[in-house]
Chain A
Amino acid sequence: MTVPGTTSPSSPLLRIADLHVDYKLPGWRTTPLRAVDGVDLTLAEGETLGVVGESGSGKSTIGRALLGLAPVTSGSIELAGHDITHTKAGDRKHIASDLQVVFQDPYGSLNPSRTVGKTLAEPLEAVAGADGSTALAEIRGLLSKVRLPDDAVDRYPNAFSGGQRQRIAIARAMAVNPKLIVCDEAISALDVVTQAQVLNLLRDLQRDTGVAFLFIAHNLPVVSYFSDRVLVLYRGRVMESGPAATIHARPAHPYSQALRAAVPVPDVAAQRVLRRQRQAVVRATTAQARPAPEQGCPFAPRCPHAAEVCWTTRPADTPFEDRVVACHVFDAASGHPQAGGAPDLVAGELAPTAP
């Protein structure tokens, strides 16, 4: 699936097609859990693609499948023209120079008993076969790139704050000059100030090196601020995709609207309005919602516009303005009673359906 309105180069850096990932659950003959359910995406060189969704929506799993850390059930992953769908983490030497990762937890992602220098040397040795002294020079360069002092080399992670550790993790990812970095909630565990500092740093690095980011997070305003295009994910499926600016300003899919309204803004009056909006765009809290239908739209239990067809038929990916939306309201042929009401829905003026 290509997103209309965005340039789609002939051979993108990353192409994921119809990706399915099932996790085997513990126990005898349990049905596996489908974490990713038919996701397509492409990512050009130097581009940032944001993936946003709530916990359990499968956004981390997409990243982990790409990194060889989660098993791919079906579908394909193609990086810089090579099929890496089933390349296990152990055989990834040649991929590692193109693909790196920054994880969410700045405390868990650095080995506490190894110095920063040793941590940064690891990818250099593994990928480039660098030896001690050449690595050291490179490491100093890396540290200055992420604006940490030279003498950080000999310190242990416990001497650094959360934001500084995240800089170290970014330096480790940048060490081999990758083409793509997966940022799995790389800023979600940081406070606002540190988060802004790290976002600015990532942006500077991208400007200087042309690295592309798969930027995974749960906060829609942050993702759309930082990304060129955005993918909104719910229960392993893409609900809406398109340019970040429009999704931020006028989210179309009812779920995107709910996500957008959930993040409070630092302005009392505006927040009061937003809170009322939010209470209007979700029908039930997550605690009260019925289980999602096997067939049909996964958001139906919480959607104020849910109708009969939403419980039985999976919505088709429908182009709308400059994006693609998977919702029956946007699909004139879906048989949804409000089909064709898309402009009203986007404007927030579509009345809820009867529960």
Chain B
Amino acid sequence: MTTTVPTPVGQEVGAATPAARAARPVGATARAVRQTLRRPAVLIALGWLVLVVVTSLLAGPLSPFDPLAQDLGSRLQGPTAAHLLGTDDLGRDLLSRILHGGGVLLLAAVVPVLVSYLLGVPAGLLVGYVGGKADAVADFVVNVLFAIPALVVVLAVSVVTDNNLPIMTVVFGVVVSGGIFRLVRASTQASRDLLYVDAARVSGVTRTTILARHILPNVLGPLIVQGFLLYSGAFLFLTSLSFLGLGFDPQEPSWGQLVFDATAKLDTDPWLMVPIGVVLIATVAALNYVGNALLATLPSSRRARLLTPTRRPVLPVADAHGTGSTAPAPLPAGPGGDEPRLVVEGLVVSFRGEDGRWQPVVDGVSFAVERGRTLCLVGESGCGKTMTALATLGLLPEGGAAAGSVRLGGQELIGLDEKAMARVRGSRIALVSQEPMVALDPCFSVRSQLGDVVRLHRGGSRADVRTRTLDLLRLVGIPNAERVGRSFPHQLSGGMAQRVCIALALAGEPDVLVADEPTTALDPTIQAEILDLLRSLQDSLGLALVLVTHDLGVVADIGDTAAVMYAGQVVELAPVEELLAAPRHPYSRGLLDAMPEDAERGVPLRTVPGVVPLPKDWPTHCRFAARCELATDACRTGPVPIEVVGPDHQSRCIRTAETARGVHPVATGGQS
């Protein structure tokens, strides 16, 4: 293990993304929990619970009277200066009795939670990981447990054991442990097939280590929430027992008993019920409220909230010009001087950082697409291709804002409110995304999802919608539309799912289709079919297509114009044929060199060293300089503007004139 590979000169492959220095990633759940804990209502409920626990702990010092001391002289008083909450029919101080009556319940309710953890967690982990027969046996046992009425069992135990509270709580814990078991088993099954678990198994890591290291941490969040809910259930259950006079020493005060006493006197002395009623209801309500708030932080319930559209923030004027280093280059005029179908000019997309400052991630992008033509956005991951595409649809993720100009058939889209944008989206411009399976809702059949969109855009009778739905499926090359329409997303292959997604996008008859890496997740054979489909749709419907890809082969196949993006900027905009035959920007050349198609076997691929810088690390000079083999000092003096280098051809490089003459870096061992 002592051989080290010589690192070629000037290659900073290893420079790790300086983001998130050694910071432990905060899981989505942890973040959601933290947000929940900041809500005032949750804080109040928590505050109450803390108060109850603390006062119960300090019941002795806090109580003005001995809770058992009788004072027959002051029976059944309402609130007085001496007895703040009054007295009961033996003259005992109610405040003292309430203070003393909670602790034993709060404590006893911990037992069932502990018991179900002790039983449910190991069993769930093991059964979930091993599966097979163990799973079937465990499932049977749990089903039996669920069928047992807890109250009946505990009552029976109370009779048999002569009212022994510890035994009763343990038995209760056993009966309810099925819920914890099922939770742990389900989470374990979900984590069992994760790739990093497979990798650990391949490394020969033992089963116990894998469970403790890789699987248990994933289960922890839901487990804590579930434990809290269980606790609040157990608390209520035990209070009911004590109301029935079971399990708790009738001599000692307990909240259930206080309620029981008050019930007996409800007609004559209703006040007795007020203090204990308020305390009990508040405690149970607080437990439930906090429990449900925590429950809502679990991923399964978070999904629903994704459906509500987020409000789009507006970029302050000062930030709306991005780094302002570059004036938008003049756009090539369309034939006949008409404005092209889609025009993007000086588009800036920014996200607000944790310090409140706006950080541009797309910085002054301009391009235009004609009817029936295809523009490809090309570049490595992290260059801003997807954000550019999403901004044209007003679909930026939360916290993002766009400025500049996006004109669709002459109409300005930047600054439209969400309602107006929703009308434009789908009916005039639509999106096809990279992951067809993610874009489809697993719970509904293809027919019903497609039907919904058709109804939304065109309305019409049920029969009309149905016909149109089947027509759309046939339009995207699905021959057995009836059968595919009835199926659910998980029954479709990747290629078929992408066809369905294209049909969804076409349902509103848009003029412009934005496709974000529509074929990257697919096999070459399926990719070729989808590209054929897009091409034929373009011919028949006159669609303008914006296609995001990192594969110059796809560009050659379907593109008319290509905009090569690097670090948030367009660095070269050219007709595809020209770009591929004679790229003018060193980065475009680097992308071409990385293609293995015609590479010689055994010879390292010539490619661009290093990685795309993060937006916060963009230099003010040429952003490609750190990776460019042609870089000179002049490249590091100031912003490089994009320049027109030929008809319809622009390049953002000060050595463009030389690249035209074929000055390209000699192979200086362009390894890795």
Contact = CB atoms under 8 A, between A and B. Distances in A.
Interface of A: 54-56, 67-69, 89-90, 92-97, 99-101, 103, 105, 108-114, 119, 122-123, 126-127, 138, 141-145, 147-149, 151-152, 154-164, 169, 172, 176-177, 191-201, 203-205, 208-209, 218-222, 224-226, 244-245, 258-259, 261-271, 275, 278-279, 282, 285-288
Given A54-B526, A108-B194, 7 more contacts: A55-B493, A122-B200, A123-B204, A156-B24, A192-B550, A195-B594, A267-B581
B380 interface: yes
B138 to A, nearest CB: 18
Contact of A161 (B25, B209, B382, B478): B382
B104 interface: no
A196 B594 contact: yes
B523 A193 contact: no
B195 interface: yes
Contacts of B21: 155, 159
A209 B3 contact: yes
Given A155-B16, A262-B528, A266-B595, A141 B2 contact: yes
A147 B7 contact: yes
Contact of A92 (B201, B477, B526): B201
Contact of B207 (A90, A127, A195): A90
Contacts of B599: 225
Contacts of B594: 192-193, 195-196
A67 to B, nearest CB: 5
A268 B25 CA distance: 45
Contacts of B381: 161-162, 191, 194
B185 interface: no
Q: Counting chain A CB atoms within 10 Å of each CB, which of B22, B209, B525, B557 scores highest?
A: B525
B19 interface: yes
A112 B25 contact: yes
B204 A95 contact: yes
Interface stretch (B242-250, B327-335, B601-609): B601-609
B624 to A, nearest CB: 12
B548 to A, nearest CB: 11
A111 B495 contact: no
A163 B204 contact: no
A152 B477 CA distance: 48
A90 B25 CA distance: 30
A67 B204 CA distance: 11
B196 interface: yes
B382 A263 contact: no
A109 B196 contact: yes
A34 to B, nearest CB: 17
A119 to B, nearest CB: 8
A145 B4 contact: yes
Contact of B205 (A126, A208, A275): A126
Q: How many of chain B's residues touch chain A, expressed as a range? A: 35 or more
Nearest to A99: B202
B34 interface: no
B196 A159 contact: no
6 contacts: A54-B525, A142-B1, A147-B14, A195-B596, A265-B553, A266-B556
Contacts of B553: 263-266, 271
A245 B27 CA distance: 47
Nearest to A69: B198
Contact of B597 (A143, A194, A263): A263
Contacts of A191: 380-381, 550
A266 B195 contact: no
A173 B527 CA distance: 31
A154 B556 contact: no
A148 B478 CA distance: 47
A152 to B, nearest CB: 5
List the 9 closest A-B pairs by CB distance, nearest first. Answer: A264-B553, A96-B204, A266-B552, A196-B607, A123-B203, A262-B524, A196-B594, A109-B195, A89-B201
B269 to A, nearest CB: 58
Interface string B522-557: 111111110110000000000000000011111111
A152 B595 CA distance: 29
B202 A69 contact: yes
Contacts of B591: 192-193
B413 to A, nearest CB: 28
